[in-house]
Amino acid sequence: MLYNVYCDETCHLEHDGINDMVIGAVWCPQNKLREINQRIKEIKARNGISPSTELKWTKVSPAKVQAYKDVIDYFFDDDDLHFRAIIIPDKSKLNHAAFHQTHDEWYYKMYFDMLKVILSPKDRYEIYIDIKDTNSYRKAQKLKDVCSNSMYDFSQSVIQRLQPVRSDEIQIMQLVDLLIGAVGYQNRVFPNGTTRSQAKIDIIELIKKRSNYLLTRTTLLRESKCNLFVWDARNTL
């Protein structure tokens, strides 16, 4: 079967003052993609939001929180949608020198570790990553090389495409942003006195309820709906 995989990350820079980092993906059968994108558009319309308006974790507000909740409920109700994420809870513990690697090299290893649970040698995949900056195309090619080499997929028959896309143009990519944003927020250490967003807390509580997970612990490897892995900085790579 052919699957589309949509990937994004949050707080991936090493020294950005935020403790945690999340790399995640939502995937579905390619032949279900049109239906899924249409359903997300319908949820937006039902909540008075234009289909062209991008749903982003950073834009969550009390006025629009119901739309975000409806999208989360749709994700859990649709058996064709799946989520996988790797959580790095404390970037300050990273010690790349000890493992003779750069932050970029480690980043690509983490990306592959996130993807390898999704990928099966008997299926085919088209993988899309959110465009962040002018380096996105170089990053996509590097990631494709890392994944293909790690899987011994030298003919690139399993990963048939890996390219950057604009999240504001693809509805399902906005779902990835929402899920990794929620997981990242749940694992974040906030300074004393910080007022946390109640709307974001409400969305996180909904995800925890629907998934039956705390979002701060590793799930079983074969969990297919909401698969999480909390990476330990003491691990060798």
Q: Give residue-wise pLDDT tens across range 104-114.
A: 888 888 999 99
Q: What does the buried/exposed string (b/e) look like for 4-41 if buried means 16 or more CB atoms within 10 Å of the residue's CB?
A: bbbbbbbbbeeeeeebbbbbbbbbbeeebbeebbebbe
Q: What is the pLDDT of residue 104?
A: 82
Tell whether 181 is covered by a domain: yes
Query: What is the CATH classification number for the domain harbouring 64?
Result: 3.30.420.10
Tell whether 236 is covered by a domain: no
Q: What is the pLDDT of residue 236?
A: 45
CA dist., res. 39 & res. 148, Å (int): 33
The structure tokens listed for 1 are 């079967």
Q: Hunting for tokens 């691990």 — which residue is that?
A: 235
Tell whether 172 is covered by a domain: yes
Q: Are 234 and 89 in contact (CB under 8 A)?
A: no
CA dist., res. 56 & res. 34, Å (int): 20
Reported as a single tens digit per residue, the pLDDT across 164-182 is 888 877 999 999 999 999 9
Reported as a single tens digit per residue, the pLDDT across 178-208 is 999 999 999 999 988 889 999 999 999 999 9
Tell whether 192 is covered by a domain: yes
Range(s) of the domain holding residue 23: 2-230
Q: What total number of domains does the chain contain?
A: 1
Reported as a single tens digit per residue, the pLDDT across 8-35 is 998 666 566 788 999 999 999 999 999 9
pLDDT tier at 96, thresholds 50, 70, 90: confident
Mean pLDDT is lowest, of 36-50, 96-110, 114-128, 222-236, for 96-110
Residue 84's closest CA among 175, 161, 148, 146? 175
pTM value? 0.92
Tell whether 51 is covered by a domain: yes
Tell whether 237 is covered by a domain: no
